[in-house]
Amino acid sequence: MTERPMSPQKLAAQLLESYEAGSSFFFATPKRTMLARGTFATVPHIGGADALQRLPERVAAVLNNAREAAHDIPVAVGAVPFDGSIPAQMVVPMTLQRAGPLVFDTDVPVHQPLAARYTVQPVPEPAAYLDGVTQALKLMQTGSLRKVVLSRSLHLSATTPIDLPQLLRNLAQRNPSGYTFAVDLPPGATQAAGGLRRTLIGASPELLVSRSGLQVLANPLAGSAARSANPIEDQERAATLLKSSKDLHEHAVVIEAVVEAMRPYCKKLDVPSGPSLVSTQTMWHLSSRICGELADPSITSLALAVALHPTPAVCGYPTELAHEAITTIEPFQRGFYTGTVGWCDASGDGQWAVTIRCAEADERTLRLFAGAGIVVGSKPESELAETEAKFRTMLQAMGLGQNAEVQS
């Protein structure tokens, strides 16, 4: 009797269930699920101010070497940091499985608690974050800075080991229209690593860029509002966001920069006249889908990602001034937060998501991140509230605020 092939939905679910922290790369999108295991080759780090700009050529060289060695998985997977202060983490895996999108039974509840108790340390403290926003607004009044994204971190320590595979499943089930990921990070990847192997894990709502043949797509998000459990109020918040002059301005700054970065690579570029609304379980966002056709087929998805990164949605504008403000105001190193995570194959195709709604984790600790875009007209208390709302993607997947206890 011939055995029936597994359905794409069952295979995708099996890939999610097969994820193991420390030995896998997992990446799920609204259309595709990917699980990579092992390391055939690691993309070497080359220091210098242009380390990120030279990353695509290093990845291409490693993929070429893999093909010459008759390795049949010519795909590089991994994560790119916010800036060049730490190396990118890119590998060619030993094995790679792909399937269609994850499909969940909506009647099956999400498993909640991952640990009985956590201690929580906000960095910076809320009052210090408010001061940072005020400082950023003063910079805009006295100089050329138009936007800066200021972020916060929550350091959580658990009383028992954290079940990262279950956290990944919770994130995937709660964010089916997003980009759910888990990436192994090397020991010492950030100052907070303490020599332990860490995992970058999260569920991003934002596609940085994808390439399929000559077709490219970027989907920047900028301008946000927290969701409400009350359906009427929730729709009112969405409508208010779509009319908010402050948020529309913030979105326009991002779109202007993304189009400017993509145009040199595209012979055709389709830019919507205005943003639309997209939502996650916790947030409303202003969204613009920018589609293009490459002029040069040798331009890879990673080369496009590096050209776009960091967008004003995660850094600010102008980029140099915003980065300088971030370095001055934020009291921690971002590491891979607000970088990009994804894959690129030897043909140049690939997909890269913005590394937000995420955490860096080891056995018993997680470092969560959330940020807000500051422009003229921003109010410090509103920006603080936005970061609190954005933390909910990770916190709800961990069961915090519902079945788990938190100690501050």
Distance of alpha carbon 317 from alpha carbon 323, whole angstroms? 9
Instruction: In whole angstroms, give the CA distance from residue 78 to residue 59.
Output: 11
DSSP character at residue 110: P
Other C-beta atoms closer than 10 Å to the C-beta of 10 total 13
List CB contacts of 362: < 8 A, sequence separation 6 or more.
193, 194, 196, 197, 198, 199
From the list 308, 332, 142, the residue with the least C-alpha distance to 216 is 308
Q: How far is CA 158 from the centre of its chain?
A: 24
362 contacts 53 by C-beta, under 8 angstroms: no
Asked about 206 being catalytic, the answer comes back as: yes
Strands 117-123 and 405-407, by their bridges, are parallel
Residue in 72, 87, 79 with CA at minimum distance from that of residue 345 = 72
**Closest listed residue to residue 24, CA positions, set 99, 96, 103:** 96
C-alpha distance from residue 101 to each of 44, 176, 201, 234 (Å): 32, 9, 18, 28
Question: Which among 147, 250, 330, 383 is annotated as catalytic?
Answer: 147
In order of 100, 128, 179, 342, 381, the CA distances from 355 in angstroms are 22, 24, 9, 10, 24
Whole-angstrom distance, CA of residue 167 vs CA of residue 149: 27
Catalytic residue among 3, 57, 206, 246: 206
CA distances from 239 to 181, 200, 224 (A): 31, 34, 12
Confirm if 109 and 78 have CB atoms less than 8 A apart: no
For residue 366 the two structure tokens come to: 């997680």
| 147 flagged as catalytic | yes
Q: Catalytic residue positions?
A: 147, 206
